[in-house]
Amino acid sequence: MAATRSLSRTVALIKINHPPVNALSTPVCEALIKEFAEAIKDPSIEAIVLCGANGKFCAGADIREFSSASRRTVSLEGINAEIESSKKPVVAAIEGVALGGGLELALSCHYRVAHIKAVVGLPEVLIGILPAAGGTQRLPRLIGIPAALDIIVRGRHVPATEAFQLGIVDEVVQSSAIDAAVQMARKVIGKPLASRRLSTNTVQYNINVDAFLDTALEKAKRQFRGAQAPLACIDAVRASAQLPYQRGIEKERQLFASLWATGQPQAQQYAFFAERNVGKWTLPSGERWDNVRPCPVRTAAVIGLGTMGRGIVTSLSKANIPVIALEQDTKQLDLGKKAVNGLLEREAEKLKKQGSSSPDGNGLGSVHFTLNFEDLKEVDLVIEAVYENMNLKKEVFRKLSSVMKPDAFLCTNTSGLDIDEIASVTHRPELVIGTHFFSPANIMRLLEVVRGRHTSPTTIATAMSLGKTLGKVAVLVGNCPLFVGNRMLGPYLDQANYLLEEGYYPEEVDQALEEFGFAMGPFRMMDLAGLDVGWRSRMEKGLTGSRVPPGTPARQREGKRYCPLADMLCELGRFGQKSGKGWYQYEKPGGRNARPDPWIRDFLDKYRNTYHIKQQAISPEQILQRCLYALINEGFRILEDGIASGPEDIDVIYNNGYGWPKHRGGPMFHASAVGLHEVLMVLEGYHKANPDVPSMKPSFLLKKLAAVGGPPIKEWRTQLGKLPNKL
């Protein structure tokens, strides 16, 4: 049953029952309107409690119905209006979650009781829409515009204790919210309900609302570059202050329809489902996420306490997993210990504020710091996070293989080195796997899980399960140089550099990509990461420095185009933010405020004159095509090579680890939206004019998909069947 009714003396209990999260599908909405109508008519019932089955109130509308034009015979706002107008008090008993339409449903009730571990929120903005069942009109009437705007525009999940402080809920309980709601319902029988009907209230404020919302709008335009949903949310909240409730509801509906017409909701909902499904991995041999049992990870260790290691230790501790952290010398250990303890103190403070710390501790796993490999011999899993050097990593894995218990898992946090070569120095290659975290590891959600040739299904299942435990979005990928994300980044950065050679300046390239929606353009990103990181890598590969053969043309390597600009900056000590100068200039070494540098303009002008490079007229649209299509083309090659199981996995990686704007779905979704034939034509034209840039030669798979009419992205997997699979 979608919704059921029972009786506790004179209080009717209406329960939403639609596993797993009680989503408000059309049958649920129809059942709710029926149950409420009968309870309101029944003279033996004096009050109503609305709750959800299985410890969850309601996680909102059924997202799968959004694409249906006539998706329901009764609207959620229609149900909310019925509930709110009831002359019998209605109390919402919130357990688990009340999100989106679930919170809108609760706001239509006259009172709300929440369990202390419940969370509420209106996260619709995260899937490209806005609350469209009165949420943008009722919430400001309840808690005021500033607090409501923060929750709606950020799509924030609000813990029950904060919801009580804000006034969203009337009571927070540590025992059964349903029992407490029944008690409250009995207490309020016969009491006036006029002030409890939020739609009849006016928004209370003591600020200049227009000025406040104008400021919020400008901030949102900067923060959510190109995303329309946050702006629509602000417009809807403005309507709550300026218009009567019913006209505000009409404005809410108009804004919802206009958002749907942009295509952004479809892109964000694709990204939502891709992220939800990415953990459902399958191997060519038939083992799958649902038939291989992961091993429990009760204790873990981390080798190396640099920036990445510190973040990994913090992530494990946040997941309440005891950690042993190892460094090579006392100085590095003390530095790492101080940094980790600082991070953990902040996490403990957050847990305390949320009421999540346990009675016997702070809710964090213990951390033991050591210099001794012998201390690791009983842990279940170790994550190596030392400097990105193959010889160093192999030395560490030799030690781990000899010291750790035979069934311990050995993970490497390499960002692109060969997993099989690392595993070759151990006695247990089947227990070796790549776990590529992203910095800062205690904040960034992405985890690339890299399968080596000998990695066992149980090792994969355990690493993927650990990622979920750590709150990461874990994506299984195959083993190749740079894996998925960084491999795609190479051609993208190459094109950005070539654009500088051809007449553009760093701030112009960055601006085009940031206006597209990237959090940061390529040159600001390189300055943040440190130009010396790539420089060292290129020196190790013999692309620059003393290992380049004499007489090699400055702008060519092995017959391929090469851009030496970044090498030249590094030779001058311009490493980016850390040195105060890179592609931009900063207020000081370590500064964050990037300013265009006149020196760079002069440097680039002289470089072009030296190599007789004619400045070309290139539009912002061409900047996007060159950089993005290079990225996308490499994505198709990754699919050809069997390194990712489908385009959705690539998009999840870019959405969560590389700053791709989620309102554009991901690079492969973007290719599908633009049209594969269009992408193919641009790449073919560029490669014909520039045959020394092989990364822009259209991939076989792109040509194949374009030749069959550019099918929807959900059908691409059917074309991948005969390609190799390295998962």
**What separation in angstroms does the CA of 90 have from each of 18, 46, 587?**
21, 10, 58
Say if residues 124 and 229 touch (Cβ distance below 8 Å).
yes
Contacts for 286 with CB less than 8 Å, ≥ 6 apart: none
In terms of DSSP H, where are the helices of 129-244? 135-143, 145-154, 160-166, 177-188, 209-223, 229-242
Distance CA 54, CA 72 (A): 25
- Burial class (CB within 10 angstroms; exposed 0-12, middle 13-18, buried 19+) of 541: exposed
Distance CA 342, CA 334 (A): 12
The SS3 call for residue 435 is strand
Say if residues 51 and 8 touch (Cβ distance below 8 Å).
no
Length of the chain measured in residues:
727
Q: What is the dihedral sign for C-alpha 149, 658, 620, 274? A: negative
Q: List the catalytic residue out of 95, 124, 507, 514.
A: 124
Distance CA 341, CA 365 (A): 12
Say if residues 580 and 591 touch (Cβ distance below 8 Å).
yes
Strands 432-437 and 446-451: antiparallel
Q: List the catalytic residue out of 95, 104, 501, 634.
A: 104
Residue corresponding to tokens 């199981």:
645
Q: What is the dihedral of CA 94, 95, 101, 107, to 10 degrees?
A: 10
Record the tokens describing residue 433, joined without a space: 């796997």
Of the chain, the end-to-end C-alpha distance in Å amounts to: 41
Distance CA 374, CA 723 (A): 45
Residue corresponding to tokens 């490497």:
412
What is the identity of the amino acid at 276?
Answer: R
Say if residues 376 and 400 touch (Cβ distance below 8 Å).
yes
Distance CA 147, CA 362 (A): 28
> Kind and range of the H or E element at 524?
helix 522-529
- Burial class (CB within 10 angstroms; exposed 0-12, middle 13-18, buried 19+) of 191: exposed
430 catalytic? Reply is: no
Strands 367-370 and 381-384: unpaired
678 catalytic? Reply is: no
Q: Cis check for the bond before 27: say yes or no (omega within 30 of 0).
A: no
Strands 3-8 and 11-16: antiparallel
Q: What is the dihedral of CA 182, 187, 191, 194, to 10 degrees?
A: -40
Q: Is 608 left (phi over 0), alpha (psi -120 to 50) or beta?
A: alpha
Say if residues 722 and 642 touch (Cβ distance below 8 Å).
no
Residue corresponding to tokens 């996260």:
123
Distance CA 436, CA 119 (A): 31
Residue corresponding to tokens 């009437």:
141
Catalytic residues: 104, 124
